[in-house]
Structure 1
Amino acid sequence: MDASNQRVLVLGATGYVGRHLVERLKAEGYAVRAVVRDRSRAHAMGAYGAPSLSGLVDEWVITSDGATEPDAGVMADVRHVVSALGVTRQKADPWDIDFRLNLHYLELAEQAAVESFLYVGVMHAAAGTSALSRAKYAFMQSLQRSSVPPQIVNPSGYFSDLTEVFELARRGLTFGLGDGSVRLSPIHGADLAKYCVARLPHGAGTWDVGGPEALSFREILRLASDAVGKKPSYVGVPMSLASSALWAADRIGPRIGSLTRFFLEGMQQDSVGEPFGSRTLRDYFVSLADPR
Structure 2
Amino acid sequence: MKSINNQNVLLAGATGYLGSYIAKELVKEQIVTKLIARSSQKLKALESKTVKIIKAEVTKPNTLKGVCEGVTTVISTIGITRQKDGLTYMDVDYQANLNLLNEAKRAGVKKFIYISAINGNKYRHLKIFEAKEKFVDALKSSGLDYTIVRPNGFFSDMKDFLDMAKRGKIYLFGNGEQKFNPIHGEDLAIVCMQAIKSASNEIIVGGPDILTLNEIGEMALDAHQKPVKIIHLPDWIRRFIIWALRTFTSSKTYGPIEFFLTLMAKDNIAPRFGTHRLHNFFKDAVAIKS
1:138 Cα offset (Å): 1.2
Structure 1 residues 249 and 58: alpha-carbon distance in aligned structure 2, compared to 1, 3 A threshold? same
Aligned match of 2:159 in 148, 158, 163? 163
1:247 Cα offset (Å): 3.6
For structure 2, the residue ranges without an aligned partner over 5 or more in a row are none
How far apart are the structure 2 equivalents of 1:261 and 1:186? Answer: 18
DSSP-derived class of the 2:121 partner: helix
- Number of corresponding residues: 283
Counterpart of 1:93?
Answer: 88
How far apart are the structure 1 equivalents of 2:83 and 2:49? Answer: 25
Q: Does 1:122 align with 2:117?
A: yes
DSSP-derived class of the 2:117 partner: coil
Following superposition of structure 1 onto structure 2, how do residues 76-115 of structure 1 map, counting pairs within 5 Å? 76-91=69-84, 92-115=87-110
Counterpart of 1:31?
Answer: 32
Are the equivalent residues in 2 in contact too, given 1:116–1:204 (CA < 8 A)?
no
Structure 1 residues 127 and 2: alpha-carbon distance in aligned structure 2, compared to 1, 3 A threshold? closer
1:173 Cα offset (Å): 2.0
How far apart are the structure 2 equivalents of 1:57 and 1:223? Answer: 41
Counterpart of 1:41?
Answer: 42
How far apart are the structure 2 equivalents of 1:85 and 1:37? Answer: 12
DSSP-derived class of the 1:75 partner: coil
Following superposition of structure 1 onto structure 2, how do residues 209-248 of structure 1 map, counting pairs within 5 Å? 209-248=205-244
How far apart are the structure 1 equivalents of 2:49 and 2:207? Answer: 25
How far apart are the structure 2 equivalents of 1:269 and 1:53? Answer: 40
For structure 1, the residue ranges without an aligned partner over 5 or more in a row are 44-51
Counterpart of 2:55?
Answer: 62
Matched letter for residue 32 of structure 2: A
1:260 Cα offset (Å): 1.6
Counterpart of 1:74?
Answer: 67
Are the equivalent residues in 1 in contact too, given 2:30–2:50 (CA < 8 A)?
no
Give the TM-score, by structure 2 length.
0.91
DSSP-derived class of the 1:74 partner: coil
Are the equivalent residues in 1 in contact too, given 2:4–2:196 (CA < 8 A)?
no
Are the equivalent residues in 1 in contact too, given 2:147–2:200 (CA < 8 A)?
yes
1:289 Cα offset (Å): 2.4
For each residue in 1:234-260, what CA deviation from the matched residue of structure 2 results, as whole angstroms up to 9, or x when unmatched? Answer: 211211112322244332322112222
Q: Does 1:141 align with 2:137?
A: yes
Following superposition of structure 1 onto structure 2, how do residues 202-213 of structure 1 map, counting pairs within 5 Å? 202-213=198-209
1:107 Cα offset (Å): 1.9
Instruction: Determine what percentage of the aligned residue pairs are the same residue.
Output: 29
Are the equivalent residues in 2 in contact too, given 1:83–1:118 (CA < 8 A)?
yes
Are the equivalent residues in 1 in contact too, given 2:40–2:54 (CA < 8 A)?
no
Counterpart of 1:48?
Answer: none
User: How big is the alpha-carbon RMSD for the aligned residues of Structure 1 and Structure 2?
Assistant: 1.9
Counterpart of 2:256?
Answer: 259
Are the equivalent residues in 2 in contact too, given 1:75–1:112 (CA < 8 A)?
yes
Counterpart of 1:22?
Answer: 23
1:204 Cα offset (Å): 4.0
How far apart are the structure 1 equivalents of 2:55 and 2:117? Answer: 27
Aligned match of 1:285 in 277, 282, 285? 282
1:199 Cα offset (Å): 1.7
Structure 1 residues 175 and 42: alpha-carbon distance in aligned structure 2, compared to 1, 3 A threshold? same
1:40 Cα offset (Å): 2.8
Structure 1 residues 72 and 147: alpha-carbon distance in aligned structure 2, compared to 1, 3 A threshold? farther
How far apart are the structure 1 equivalents of 2:162 and 2:50? Answer: 33
Counterpart of 1:180?
Answer: 176
How far apart are the structure 1 equivalents of 2:46 and 2:152? Answer: 25
Aligned match of 1:152 in 148, 172, 176? 148
Are the equivalent residues in 2 in contact too, given 1:22–1:56 (CA < 8 A)?
no
1:55 Cα offset (Å): 5.6
Matched letter for residue 259 of structure 2: F
